[in-house]
Amino acid sequence: MMKVLETSAGLDLRLLVGIEANSEGLAMARERGVATCHAGLEGARALPQWRQVQIVFDATSAAAHAQHHAACQADGKQLVDLTPAAIGPYCVPVVNMAEHLDEDNVNMVSCGGQATIPMVHAVRRVAKRVPYAEIVASVASKSAGPGTRANIDEFTETTARGIEVVGGAERGKAIIVLNPAEPPMIMRDTVYTLSMGAELDELADSVEDMVREVQQYVPGYRLKQKVQFERFGSNDPLRIPGMGTYEGVKSTIFLEVEGAGHYLPKYAGNLDIMTSAAMATAERIAELKFGAAA
């Protein structure tokens, strides 16, 4: 809500929907002149403002999203899904957004997916093959709410699949760590890829170019250090359990994602990159599909 109200030139927020009448978010919306509903999506569908809505952001849970998807389909609304339900196709703005702008439902994968899939794709676009990619997303425990905690399994499954479908790896794996450190840590992500058919300078340049592309909508997205490389040849192949041995280049990419601080703390980069990616996608949908504010 705060990101749309304060930074978006193409979106006009008409309605904020929740399930707690006294929630801070709904109170903040009312203070800013935004219509609210505390009776969930079914309650919202009875309001006159619902008829004005063209794009719906769903930031609830994977379990609830199935019902919301059915309701929005029936009402002709386009959904941008911030849960790991993955009913619609995976969308990572810098990689494949243009392919899915006409879909009824686009899925933003996960916070870890938005942060790391661009890096896997950066390796894949200059390599002949990426047999394996693995990501570790570490976020502050304070930035992981009940929805995140209820969807840990969906997070790992959806992110791993996104690494393959969008990132281009033949096999993907995802791990999430909720770190209780005080003061809370900024989101950190580590990306490991095994690639073949690309020179080290090509890989480094592609990764750095992709970081700049993501920074267009997530300014706090950055490399913590230069990409690390390790070569594996026929005399010392890399063994991946359950997959076999490989020759190629192992790239290790260290990322940090700092939030913009529009409302949430800056350490909550995991939440900021999701809302930023979702808003960038919705703005493009509004521009191409509706030709005006949506």
Q: Give the number of other CB atoms < 10 A from CB of residue 124.
A: 23
Active-site residue, selected from the candidate residues 37, 72, 91, 111: 111
111 is catalytic: yes
Measuring CA to CA, which residue among 114, 121, 120 is closest to residue 93? 114
Measuring CA to CA, which residue among 202, 174, 199 is closest to residue 189? 174
Supply 215's token pair.
Answer: 């920074």
The radius of gyration of the chain from alpha carbons, rounded to an integer in Å, stands at 20
Supply 184's token pair.
Answer: 């809370």
**Pairwise CA distance, residues 292 & 11, whole Å:** 8
Helices vs strands, H then E, count in the chain? 10, 13
Measuring CA to CA, which residue among 277, 222, 281 is closest to residue 111? 277
Render 7-61 in DSSP notation, one character per residue.
Answer: H-SS----EEE-S-TT-HHHHHHHHTT-EEESSHHHHHTTSGGGGG--EEEE-S-
Q: Report helix, strand or coil for 138.
A: strand
Q: Where do we find the tokens 């076999």? A: 244
DSSP 226: P
Q: List residues bridging with 144 in a β-sheet.
A: none
Supply 249's token pair.
Answer: 């280049």
Supply 137's token pair.
Answer: 């997303």
Catalytic center residues:
111
